[in-house]
Amino acid sequence: MKFVILTGENIKTLIVFFLSLALGFVVSRLPLPGLGEAGRITLGIFTTAALLWVLEPFPLYVTSFVIVILEVIFLAREGGPLGLSGNQYTIFLNPFFDSVVVLFLGGFVMARAVKRYGLDERISRGIMRRVGVKPSIVLLGMMVTTAFLSLWISNTATTALMVAVAIPIIKRFPDGEPFRHALILGIPFASNIGGIGTPIGTPPNAIAMGILNQMHRDINFIDWMIRGIPVVVILTALCWIMLCRIFPPRIHRIEMELDEEEPMDRKSKFILVVFSLVVLLWLTSPYHGIPAAVVALIPLVVFFGLRLLGGDDLNDLGWGILFIIGGGMSLGIAMRESGLSQWIVGLIPFAGMNKIAILFIFAVAAAVMTTFISNSATANLLLPIVVGVTAVSAETSAVVVALAASAAMILPISTPPNAIAYGSGLIDVRTMMKGGSVITLISIVVIVLFIYLLF
């Protein structure tokens, strides 16, 4: 039996990888005024990581491990440019089990339990039974349901579920009905929007919290929700209004058939109780003092300990996303410790700019980048830089970038929910751009103004 490693695809991967390393090495050797050796090496690592995140020769989480290897070899060696010794190299490894990563892990476990026992579908269908038959109200009900589910479980899983619920409804529309587009676009847009409401809703939120925690500028679970939930409500409402205007319905009634479901069994009820308890503990952490990350371990212990979840569920928890978060935070440490973040910020004349103008620059940059690369990669690249801009508080900058990184909805490649909706075959790229461009622009304005005026 012949074992072949170097296929054509693998050769292409190796070429992109080594070219990225080579370009990073060249950048690290550039004589840049005001930037020391550690900063130049970190800039080279940043360049390599950026190329690998944008070109994606292999999964994004592999880039996280490349980052750590390069940091330890070139920055953390004995007598190296950072002056570390002994086990101090672990500063680049610690982010992979940071409290924010643990928080996200707990969210994944709860999401897996909810999906395993069909609670997500039960919730979505339960709400759909109560929204009536008017097209615009059906759209609103689907968007609210999608946004709510995306607060707590993966927006990718939420979109897949809700698209499956929507397809039978859309098929009842007559040919040429423009509101078909509104219904299929409303789901991924609401899913993207809903994810910004909680720390576990989408990876950029976790990356932002992790970087702020490293700076001792902590934002807890409820602090994030105070900022995120109002934005979710406002954007969901505006998105609904705009979709109804861009794709106005010609019909006045949608005939729907949703079969009655069987009552929940004991396991499903128990899952729901634990889910509610964990959310309650997260929301009340300032009062009982138990860290949100420790609370996040409760569902892991309970669900796996009582064998409500098994080995297959453990394998499907989304470890890749956790590694992406850890790698981004590790790169953020290197950029801060080497002085690279401060050097980059010093190149841009932020001092003479208005605070709101700076926030708009950050938000537009995040949205534009996320249009073409993943929001996780965008957050990893931008957040270590923007938190160093002293003209704006680190908390404000980090939250604006994290929220804006989830607000790009123009292309199918912009976010996984967009890709799922496009993959349904019910929407084309031009129609997605027509609705997505307007919603993205509105989202940027709302995010910046809300965070600027209230925080």
Q: Give 309's pLDDT tier (boundaries 50, 70, 90).
A: very high
Residue 270: pLDDT over 90? yes
Residue 86: pLDDT over 50? yes
Q: What is the pLDDT of residue 133?
A: 73
Among 112, 77, 107, 108, which Cα is nearest to 92's? 77
The mean predicted confidence, pLDDT, of the chain is: 86
Residue 11: pLDDT over 80? yes
The domain limits of the chain are 1-92
Q: What is the pLDDT of residues 170-194, one digit of tens each?
A: 877 887 888 999 999 999 999 999 9
CA dist 3 to 6, 7, 57, Å?
10, 11, 22
The residues, any chain, with a CB within 8 Å of residue 399's CB and separated by 6 or more, are 208, 219, 224, 227, 451, 455
Percent of the chain with pLDDT over 90: 37
Upper half-sphere CA count for residue 447 (Cβ side, 13 Å): 32
Angle at 404 between CA 399 and CA 409, to 5 degrees: 155
CB 320 within 8 A of CB 58: no
Q: Give 1's pLDDT tier (boundaries 50, 70, 90).
A: very low
Q: What is the pLDDT of residue 255?
A: 64
Percent of the chain with pLDDT over 70: 95
Q: What is the pLDDT of residue 428?
A: 85
Q: How many Å apart are CA 15 and CA 9, to the nearest integer?
A: 10
Cα-flanking dihedrals φ and ψ of residue 247, to 5°?
Answer: -125, 70
Is the backbone of residue 370 left (phi > 0), alpha (psi -120 to 50) or beta?
A: alpha
Place of tokens 């509104």: 182
Q: How many Å apart are CA 55 and CA 63, to the nearest integer?
A: 11
Whole-structure pTM value: 0.81
Residue 241: pLDDT over 90? yes
In 3-state terms, the chain is what percent helix, strand and coil (to 5)?
75, 0, 25
Q: How many Å apart are CA 253 and CA 248, to the nearest integer?
A: 13
Is the backbone of residue 36 left (phi > 0), alpha (psi -120 to 50) or beta?
A: beta
Q: What is the pLDDT of residues 370-417, one digit of tens each?
A: 887 778 888 888 899 898 888 899 999 999 999 999 888 888 877 778
Among 391, 412, 297, which Cα is nearest to 346's? 391
Q: Give 2's pLDDT tier (boundaries 50, 70, 90).
A: low
Residue 260: pLDDT over 70? no
Q: What is the pLDDT of residue 321?
A: 80
